[in-house]
Amino acid sequence: MQSDTQAWAAVGAALYAADPQQKVEQVRALRWPLASMPEVSAPPLSATPGRPSHPLLLGPKDLPKRRALHTQAGRFALLHALAHIEFNAINLALDALYRFPGLPEDFYRDWLRVAQEEAEHFVLLRQQLQRLGGDYGDLPAHDGLWEMAMDTAADPLERMALVPRVLEARGLDVTPAMRERLLAAGDAEAAAVLARIESDERGHVAVGSRWFRYLCAQRGLEPDSTFMTLLQQRYRGRIQGPLALTARRAAGFSEPELDWLQSRIGQPAATRPEQVRHD
């Protein structure tokens, strides 16, 4: 069994590895048990995880418009954006492991599995980019996923609510249509990769749901109303649809949550600016 220091050092080394291949190899090498991790304090955390100098990170409005998927450039741009999401998702899972001590052992087991699956998703997408003649980092990207990680760094309940159950859950809504568009464009290989990712991501969102509800119960909070309130207070984006209701149910969303989200499609989650916290 690894010592406390070795367990934290291995996770931290993977989190702060900048080279994508090195990060993947270090994540693959992580081994359970990390049983001592909940009882120790992590070393100081940086606001920025390890990542390469490219892709260049821009604001969402500054990114080039996507091209049609019937062109190779259009498919490359889509797959590059997805690879960037998966690279960020590796760091998000490692950060959940590294940042929040004192939770049940299964919390760390779950997020270790998620980190390793996200690493495989990134590898599959990077292979598709290389098949199309390029690589990860060739196009600019944005940093929205990690910005939300920093916004929820102080509280695992907020992290579980707003990263897996909002940002990652959006992937459940949009991936089926992307997969069908790739098939229509004649790229069955890339479509098969998205099918694999879609299946795994249901489980990842379910992990977020599980631990969100656990933390609500621990604090005596009603989970449905807590989720809605957190979106209104902490999420600055719009509720987008259509929702993949079957996939979201399988990932742990309740009917009241889905009804509320459905009623707010197209609207900002935070309806009153004074509700939004900036601390």
Going from the first residue of the chain to its last (279 residues), give the mean pLDDT of each consecutive group of 10, the final group possibly shorter: 58 92 95 56 64 84 77 95 95 92 92 97 98 95 83 94 95 96 96 96 97 98 97 89 96 97 86 39
Backbone angles phi, psi at 133, to 5 degrees: 95, 10
> Cα(83)–Cα(68) distance, rounded to whole angstroms?
18
Q: Give the number of other Cβ atoms within 10 Å of residue 79's Cβ.
A: 28
Q: What dihedral angle (degrees, nearest 10) is formed by the CA atoms of 231, 258, 172, 115?
A: 50
Backbone angles phi, psi at 238, to 5 degrees: -95, 150
Element (H, E) at 6: helix 4-16
Which of the 8 DSSP states describes residue 252? T
Q: What is the per-residue pLDDT for 147?
A: 83
Range 214-241 burial, b when 16+ CB lie within 10 A, else e: bbbeeeebebbebbbebbbebbeeebee
Cis omega before residue 44 (within 30°)? no
Which of the 8 DSSP states describes residue 247? H
Q: What is the per-residue pLDDT for 19?
A: 96
Whole-angstrom distance between the N-terminal and C-terminal Cα of the chain? 39
Interior angle at CA 176, CA 172 and CA 178, nearest 5: 110
pLDDT tens per residue across span 175-219: 999 999 999 999 999 999 999 999 999 999 999 999 999 999 999
Q: Residue 238's beta-bridge partner residues?
A: 268
Q: Kindly list the distances between the CA atom of residue 117 and the CA atoms of 24, 25, 86, 197, 203, in Å, as whole numbers in the listed order.
A: 10, 12, 10, 9, 10
> Cα(212)–Cα(159) distance, rounded to whole angstroms?
8
To which residue do tokens 């990842």 refer?
204
Amino acid at 269: A
> Over the Cα atoms of the chain, what is R_g?
19
Is residue 35 within 8 Å of residue 105, measured between CB atoms?
Answer: yes
To which residue do tokens 């931290």 refer?
12
